[in-house]
């Protein structure tokens, strides 16, 4: 059975390669036509998707999925229109393929340029939300990649309906349906087969919790990009404007608690602790946030004593770890020890502190007097996002179309040979 599954995944990857070899030659016009066709077909055939989605919701309810998961799984006309609009937005973005990154005429006359090219075959592993299926297919297509989509089993009917519509749209404009394929989703082993299909798959992007990311890191032989784990800190410096600090802490923590750019830890400089610790504790508690603190924080009413574990926890809930630090140095060291390299913020009015913090903190994004919530492809002006990379290799921070490409050096000569050295 497992060997069958392996062969199923590999066969899909081989079909994806054939599709990718055709897609690399597709003009932007054709790719955009496919995206518009996909959007129109999703709207026209929304009923098919909703019927399939109803089956998933029924099965999810019977299986006892939480309200939150069921909500993420649920589609309606408005959500389908939303993903269709997303495809139209992607059609409006510049084509990353062919962009000349560098180029020059070498001293010997060789014309050299480095151009963006598709990765080739890209795998995506993701969880409940079926809209990711459409987003990922659209971004992969625009960046010239064939997509292997491995969604959650709880969304199987929805994903199957969506992918059938996307594949029909590809064929309508004369592109291979195998640019978009759904992988078997019932067995964790299909993820293993995907991330070990070296040579068949060029890149896998896992979107999910620490468990998935860890499994991928340990087992993958295919290149991968880690996304989506964020233990983000807000550090309130001695020189901070406390009104600004309160606003940023509250927004970073409470705007949406389930997202990776939400703050999970608060660090307050000791020079302002007497004033700011009671104030921010009360403000957080007024918004139903449980504060897990030590030292001055632990002495406030209703604060839970922080354990070592709290500093490393991505709560994704109305909880925050909080501690007083004696210096910017201590804040930087705390973040180095406990941060996940996603987003770190400083609130300060001191230029030197801001410069030190941005230079020394090692993370995908560093905010000065701004909420951690801004780390987002749309906010950064990328138009669309496939995830937020927390690794340093290839892509760091929000990943748009460019981050789904590789590059190639092309040199044109007229019989150029290299002399012996």
Q: Taking the complex as a whole, how short is the minimal distance between the CB of residue 386 and a copy of itself, in angstroms?
A: 15
- 109's CB contacts (< 8 A; 6+ apart) are 413, 414, 416
Question: Which residue number, 28 or 255, has a Cβ lying nearer to a copy of itself?
Answer: 255
Look at residue 343 and give its three-state secondary structure: strand
Residue with tokens 């989509």: 149
Question: Which residue number, 67 or 243, has a Cβ lying nearer to a copy of itself?
Answer: 243
How large is the C-alpha radius of gyration of the chain? 24
Give the pairing type, strands 121-125 and 203-206. parallel
Q: Taking the complex as a whole, how short is the minimal distance between the CB of residue 393 and a copy of itself, in angstroms?
A: 4
Long-range Cβ pairs for the range 253-258 (8 Å, 24+): 253/284, 253/287, 253/289, 253/318, 253/320, 254/287, 254/289, 254/318, 255/371, 255/373, 256/373, 257/315, 257/316, 257/317, 257/318, 258/68, 258/316, 258/317
Which pair of structure tokens corresponds to residue 148? Answer: 């292997």
Question: Which residue number, 15 or 396, has a Cβ lying nearer to a copy of itself?
Answer: 396
Question: Which residue number, 89 or 407, has a Cβ lying nearer to a copy of itself?
Answer: 407
Burial category of 312 from C-beta neighbours within 10 Å (exposed 0-12, middle 13-18, buried 19 and up)? middle
Please tell me the distance from the alpha carbon of residue 382 to that of residue 12, in angstroms, as a whole number.
30
Q: Taking the complex as a whole, how short is the minimal distance between the CB of residue 253 and a copy of itself, in angstroms?
A: 11
Q: For residue 174, how many other CB atoms are within 10 A of its CB?
A: 11
Q: Taking the complex as a whole, how short is the minimal distance between the CB of residue 244 and a copy of itself, in angstroms?
A: 4
Please tell me the distance from the alpha carbon of residue 187 to that of residue 123, in angstroms, as a whole number.
16
Partners of 116 in the β-ladder: 407
Question: Which residue number, 250 or 303, has a Cβ lying nearer to a copy of itself?
Answer: 250
Which DSSP string corresponds to 81-100? Answer: HHHHHHHHHHHHSPP-TT-E
Q: Taking the complex as a whole, how short is the minimal distance between the CB of residue 361 and a copy of itself, in angstroms?
A: 9
Please tell me the distance from the alpha carbon of residue 345 to that of residue 316, in angstroms, as a whole number.
18
Q: Taking the complex as a whole, how short is the minimal distance between the CB of residue 52 and a copy of itself, in angstroms?
A: 27
Residues in touch with a copy of itself (CB under 8 A): 21, 24-25, 104, 106, 110, 112, 114, 117, 119-120, 198, 202-203, 217-218, 221, 223, 225, 241, 243-244, 247-248, 250-251, 255-256, 336, 354, 358-360, 362-371, 373-375, 379-381, 391-394, 396-398, 406-418, 420
Q: Taking the complex as a whole, how short is the minimal distance between the CB of residue 78 and a copy of itself, in angstroms?
A: 14
Question: Which residue number, 172 or 196, has a Cβ lying nearer to a copy of itself?
Answer: 196
Single out the residue of 222, 212, 272 nearest to residue 246, CA to CA: 272
Question: Which residue number, 11 or 359, has a Cβ lying nearer to a copy of itself?
Answer: 359
Q: Taking the complex as a whole, how short is the minimal distance between the CB of residue 203 and a copy of itself, in angstroms?
A: 7
Torsion of CA 359, 362, 364, 365, to 10 degrees: -40
Question: Which residue number, 65 or 240, has a Cβ lying nearer to a copy of itself?
Answer: 240
Q: Taking the complex as a whole, how short is the minimal distance between the CB of residue 47 and a copy of itself, in angstroms?
A: 27
Residue with tokens 């309160």: 246
Q: Taking the complex as a whole, how short is the minimal distance between the CB of residue 24 and a copy of itself, in angstroms?
A: 7
Which DSSP string corresponds to 140-160? Answer: HHHTT-EEEEE--GGGHHHHH
Question: Which residue number, 76 or 379, has a Cβ lying nearer to a copy of itself?
Answer: 379
Single out the residue of 385, 29, 44, 48 nearest to residue 175, CA to CA: 29
Which pair of structure tokens corresponds to residue 115? Answer: 């151009």
Question: Which residue number, 114 or 290, has a Cβ lying nearer to a copy of itself?
Answer: 114
The conformation of residue 94, written as its DSSP 8-state character, comes to P
Question: Which residue number, 290 or 358, has a Cβ lying nearer to a copy of itself?
Answer: 358
Q: Taking the complex as a whole, how short is the minimal distance between the CB of residue 135 and a copy of itself, in angstroms?
A: 16
* 180 CA to centre of own chain: 19
């Amino acid at each position: 059975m497992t060997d069958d599954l392996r062969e199923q995944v590999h066969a899909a990857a081989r079909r994806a390669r054939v599709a990718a070899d055709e897609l690399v030659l597709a003009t932007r016009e054709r790719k955009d036509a496919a995206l518009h066709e996909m959007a129109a077909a999703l709207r026209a055939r929304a009923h098919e998707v909703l019927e399939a989605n109803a089956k998933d919701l029924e099965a999810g309810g019977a299986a006892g999925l939480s309200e939150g998961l069921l909500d993420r799984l649920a589609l309606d006309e408005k959500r389908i229109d939303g993903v269709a609009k997303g495809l139209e937005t992607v059609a409006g973005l510049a084509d990353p393929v062919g962009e000349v990154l560098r180029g020059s005429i070498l001293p010997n006359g060789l014309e050299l340029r480095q151009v963006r090219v598709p990765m080739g075959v890209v795998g995506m592993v993701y969880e409940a939300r079926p809209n990711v299926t459409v987003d990922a297919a659209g971004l992969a297509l625009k960046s010239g990649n064939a997509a292997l989509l491995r969604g959650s089993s709880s969304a199987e009917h929805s994903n199957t309906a969506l992918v059938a519509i996307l594949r029909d749209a590809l064929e309508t404009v004369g592109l291979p349906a195998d640019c978009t394929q759904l992988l078997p989703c019932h067995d964790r082993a299909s993820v293993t087969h995907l991330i070990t299909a070296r040579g068949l798959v060029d890149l896998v992007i896992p979107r999910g919790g620490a468990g998935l990311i860890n499994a991928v890191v340990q087992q993958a032989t295919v290149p991968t990009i880690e996304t989506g784990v964020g233990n983000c800190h807000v550090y309130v410096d001695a020189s901070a404007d406390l009104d600004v600090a309160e606003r940023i802490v509250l927004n970073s923590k409470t705007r949406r608690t389930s997202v990776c750019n939400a703050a999970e830890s608060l660090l307050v400089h000791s020079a302002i602790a007497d004033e700011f610790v009671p104030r921010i504790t009360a403000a957080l508690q007024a918004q139903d946030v449980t504060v897990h603190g030590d030292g001055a924080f632990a002495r406030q009413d209703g604060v839970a004593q922080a354990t070592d574990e709290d500093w490393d926890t991505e709560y994704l809930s109305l909880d925050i770890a909080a501690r007083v630090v004696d210096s910017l140095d201590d804040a930087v060291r705390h973040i180095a020890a406990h941060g996940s390299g996603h987003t770190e913020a400083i609130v300060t009015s001191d230029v030197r502190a801001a410069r030190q913090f941005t230079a020394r903190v090692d993370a995908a994004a560093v905010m000065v007097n701004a909420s951690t919530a801004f780390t987002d492809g749309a906010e950064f002006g990328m138009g669309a996002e496939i995830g937020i990379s927390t690794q340093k290799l290839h892509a760091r921070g929000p990943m748009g179309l460019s981050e789904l490409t590789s590059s190639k050096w092309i040199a044109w000569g007229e019989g150029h040979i290299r002399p012996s050295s």
